[in-house]
Amino acid sequence: MLNTLVKSVNLSGAAKKWRSIKDVLYKNKVIFVHVPKCGGTSLSHSFRARYPLSSFKVSEEASSEALRGVSAAEAMRFKRDLMAYHASGGSHYIQGHAPIDQKFISRYGEEFHFITLLRDPIDRFISHYHFDPRCRKIPFSAFLESRRGWVESHVLCYFFGEQPWAARDNIEDAAERAIENLEKFSVVGILEDQKAFSRECRDKLNVRIALPKRNIGSERKQKEYDFSDADMRKLKEMCALDQRIYDHFATL
């Protein structure tokens, strides 16, 4: 009976028709490059609620399970390729913790609006340290010296500056590359100025979003965890390149 039913149903062209329907429903296509600990989870909820029939989010839980034993660099490339797959496959809203480069932007920039949300790098670093139990179990001073600490203090260089993941060589050039790539985005928001970000999403994407109050600042976290002045000075030095990227868009 099942074979008879399958033979009697003609689905030829159904995917193309469904894609055409979604194109009518969703005028703007969006790729959200989600930098961790920048308020993006709440932003994700707002966008996916507006694209219920055509959204894709790269699941960190599924990625971690599927990519066990794979290097961080390979995992990041895989997640970017997965976003590209869904962009080519007809999804209208795509989100992921994945770095992008000029090639990716050039390939999909005409079809999609690229957006992201940035946060003060020192504030973001401390927030990540506080909320990730794998980081928090390491003393803060030791975490600053770790490979993971280096990555977290240069995360914007890795996400937008075409810097090979976790590589330190020639990273000084990554800040300018990141600024150049981010200037091609439709919306680059600042968590500390949510009203401006919401206004840009409304004006450029015709999407109304609401973000929660930002997390407590790094000054309060420093007092709460008793970070030393020496550690904070070192953190500021480590975040200098990311700070340059952030400041460029914060001043806008």
**Mean of pLDDT over the chain:** 89
| Residue 51 C-alpha from the chain's centroid | 18
Q: Which token pair is 197?
A: 């970000």
Confidence of residue 209 (pLDDT cuts 50, 70, 90): confident
Answer yes or no: are the C-beta atoms of 101 and 181 closer than 8 Å.
yes
Q: Which of 41, 40, 46, 95 is nearest to 209 (CA)?
A: 46
pLDDT at residue number 18: 81
Q: Is the pLDDT of residue 180 over 90?
A: yes
Q: pTM, whole model, 2 decimals? A: 0.89
| Position with higher pLDDT, 190 vs 219 | 190
User: Please, what's the b/e burial string for 135-161 (b: 16 or more CB within 10 A of its CB; e: otherwise)?
Assistant: beeeebeebbeeebbebbbbbbbbbbb
Name which CATH class applies to 28-250: alpha beta
Token output for 18:
């469904």
Residues listed for the chain = 252
CB 19 within 8 A of CB 92: no
